[in-house]
Amino acid sequence: MAPLPAPAARPVPTVLMVLLLFVTQACTDIFLPGLPQIASEFNSSIEVASRTISVYNICQAVAVLFIGVVSDVRGRRPTILLCFGLHILATVGIALCSSIGAMIVLRAVQALGSAAVYIVLRMIIKDTLDEQAQVHATGLLVIGLVLSPILAPVLGSAIVAWSNWRVCFWVLCLLDIPLFAWAWARIGETNLRQPALKAAFRWSAHARHYGQVLGDPYFRGMALLVGAAFAAFYAFISISSFMFLQQLALSASTYGYVFIALALSYLAGNRLMSRLNARALPPRRIIGVGLWVSVAGAACVLAALLFKQAASVAVLMVIGTCLLRLATALIIPPAQVAVTNHFPQHGAHALGLLTCTQYGFAALGTLVVSTLWYAPSVNYMISTLAFVALSTLAYLALGRRDGAAHTHRR
């Protein structure tokens, strides 16, 4: 008698997944208006205060390399619930912390929870839905990623103006705890192949696949291109509150509106990317368009040197950064597709390593812009010029490599 088929895993409510992604990503943006307060309260420099962002990015970059594998071996449910639980405890700890060092350590724990939600939710979708439904559900998840940079800084600006930066993290706790209870009740074990995956898995083979991807010159070029483009934007993230609130004396509410403009710019870039893709433009060409946009953004940022009025400088900074944000929507998704298709046997490893590089460069952008010794606006100009130039050089190097390969084939 043939064995009965395993019961199908129960899908997780889409609303729950969107909200989980929103609240974990919001911990990146909601406290940005309070960074000057944090630096002042803990008697820290801009460089040290910005480590609350760079350390978070570094830990998230490392976590995405192994968290999906851990959920393969140990199960989706325990992985996401444990990491999200640690995320909540870290958020409480940050709201109560008495030193910048403790805050930085707790931000690293927060990053583990954010990485788990980001990766494991996609694994759950793959486990429970067919291919067409997966595309639809993954598209809905983007709502959480888009809403976070729109709503979190605006909410954070209002909180900081009304109270202080610690309340930002208490608000996150009020959102996190009910979602944890809902996740506990509704997220079952969707990885029905866990015993087989656990028996077949070897860490040595996993590391070897990453080594094979990293050894490919094409991957290194694409990783540098994507990483530098992402770093240019994250340099703004880390220095923006000091630049706008302290140097240029914008109000907290106006600062929140800047992030709305950035989010809308990303949506516009995503829309343009979709249209170019619908016209069958190759990923490399779409990336090229994105690089031209990023160069235009860098030019706007540098043009602020020609003006002394704070309002003019602020306007040019916002326009330039909006173009940089639009460019990331044109560069990163096509690059992810190109890299995944370049490694048909190890596409998951290539995508994981590319994501790791992306967040690693985000941390680098934060470190560079916060360690320069000029005014915040000048620091941002220098970092923007450096990272946009680096991504452009990587693109040109990839073009020469493809041209040489084409000549060799002929």
Confidence (pLDDT) at 6: 45
Please give the pLDDT value at position 409.
41
- Average pLDDT score, the chain: 87
* Residue 122 pLDDT > 50: yes
Q: Which residue has the higher pLDDT, 160 or 6?
A: 160
pLDDT at position 2 is 40
Q: What is the pLDDT of residues 163-178, one digit of tens each?
A: 899 999 999 999 999 9
Task: Please report which confidence band the pLDDT of residue 12 belongs to, taking 50, 70 and 90 as the band edges.
Answer: confident
Question: DSSP secondary-structure letter at 32?
Answer: G
Check residue 408 and give its pLDDT. 41
235-249 mean pLDDT: 91
DSSP string for 225-279: HHHHHHHHHHHHHHHHHIIIIIIS---HHHHHHHHHHHHHHHHHHHHHHHHHHHT
- Per-residue model confidence (pLDDT) at position 9: 65
Predicted local distance difference test score (pLDDT) of residue 134: 67
For residue range 347-371, what is the model confidence (pLDDT) as tens digits? 668 878 888 898 899 889 998 998 8
Task: Look up tokens 């083979």; give the residue.
Answer: 205
Digit-coded pLDDT (tens) for 278-305: 888 888 899 999 999 999 999 999 999 9
The pLDDT of residue 269 is above 60: yes
Q: What is the pLDDT of residues 62-99, one digit of tens each?
A: 998 888 888 888 889 999 999 999 999 999 999 999 99
Q: What is the pLDDT of residue 329?
A: 87
Of 235, 189, 256, residue with least CA distance to 29: 256
201/409: higher pLDDT:
201
Alpha-carbon span 131 to 396, nearest angstrom: 35
State the pLDDT at residue 219: 93
Alpha-carbon distance of 290 to 286, in angstroms, equals: 6
What percent of the chain has pLDDT above 70? 92
- Predicted confidence at residue 14, as pLDDT, reads 86
pLDDT at position 138 over 90 = no
**The one-letter amino acid at 230:** F
- Residue 108 pLDDT greater than 50, yes or no: yes
